[in-house]
Structure 1
């Protein structure tokens, strides 16, 4: 199959429903209990959520989850263990880290994702290991999806073990990934995964570790994949291996056209990051900014 084979559809938003309907449909509330809440609400003229909590039929978390669906703001309950807790934007959307991620998102919209069809792809790079590229890329993908952007996260670190990187963060089952797509053994639609609870986000894991990662990323099939994905998604973020160790990140960034540099507080070596930035700029890559990872 060609790497440019497309995904069929993304999930679409349903018709707006009442909070009670959402809670009943999710199994958090029985129809009989919904009626109790509505009767008490009408009698006492109190808000739905306040009434439900006072009757001990729902918790604040239940109400927050229903509100998130009403306002198309997807996030996950702390009791939902389908994803890694490192995905703070999904589990702690109102925390400081998530607010900082939204600030980065705003800057990226101003500097790169401005509606231009040629500006839909961004590589996330750093010079060294352990600086938080995967963490930053994954959480940025989530905050873009929470904004309603159709978002694709590609793990282009073809050197990491499958249990690491985006496969680990999103707890994806082993199967086809980017390496299989670039080798022509799978299509994007077959290898990408819709993230549970975050319908606007899809993740293409790295897949099996190939013997020739740099050659695969340098093939025309990678450019074809990005071109095809850009027809279907609003935002495409690409995770990469350490730029100071391999040239893969530079290849990926050149295909993307732009890069965001990640550095880690008290860990990143400034000379290595400076050298990486210079190589990227010499290769014609637009540096849209940097993120200091304090995690």
Structure 2
């Protein structure tokens, strides 16, 4: 009997949980509400209870599993299995996640940052195609990332490796960022950042544009709407997409020139724009990178969507001598 894996992708709204084969194929998946009440003190217990209940339903016991991998927001201490500063979980103080979840389930626990596990999922079973050098950039409400280099996820000395959203792309007169800096990639290439750029550019745009008229009427717009208008040929939408593509390509070119990965994968909600985003980013990227990087580092859109997190989390629990898709 081949042992299986459990992956947990913990978010501020829901915790997604899945049972996977050791080859990374999802067999069962479900989700529970993330209960952030009482300083998030119920979260780990409710995940443990949900896992135990599901295994009972499936008539499976712990001997059939390698363990549980968990992706979580916040700063992860990889030696102690603790998490701190996950504010969307209401975890201000340090949480003993690994110890508590192991006590509840009886299974070994492996823990990592949520952006890192999404990177692992795309790298293992998605657009990364099992490559040893893959970078994942997620464009959503914020901008995050994970770096898989020489066959290992990079954490850095304090767990801050992969903070791609805080690469400076507007060195002068940039927007303020939640991190305290100005001009970060997150301020112009996140879903909210793209809307901010559009609203600012609309103030001085002189041509005819349906999108500009919507903005002038103070109508609600979204990054998706901007890309939809761009696909329909709206000239102002094309200006906006060109601007944010330049900023994103600039940040990705730094990553390419520094790390020379096989793939840089763009994921998150904004990546649903597909080629409307990928092609202009590629065009700029190709003018910004070292010739060897141009020949060897490819940009692509993520393929695993919301499943990337549970797949990457499950990979954490896989004994490294059992890896089958490298």
- Taking structure 1 as the reference length, the TM-score comes to 0.30
| Larger strand proportion of the pair | 2
- Taking structure 2 as the reference length, the TM-score comes to 0.28
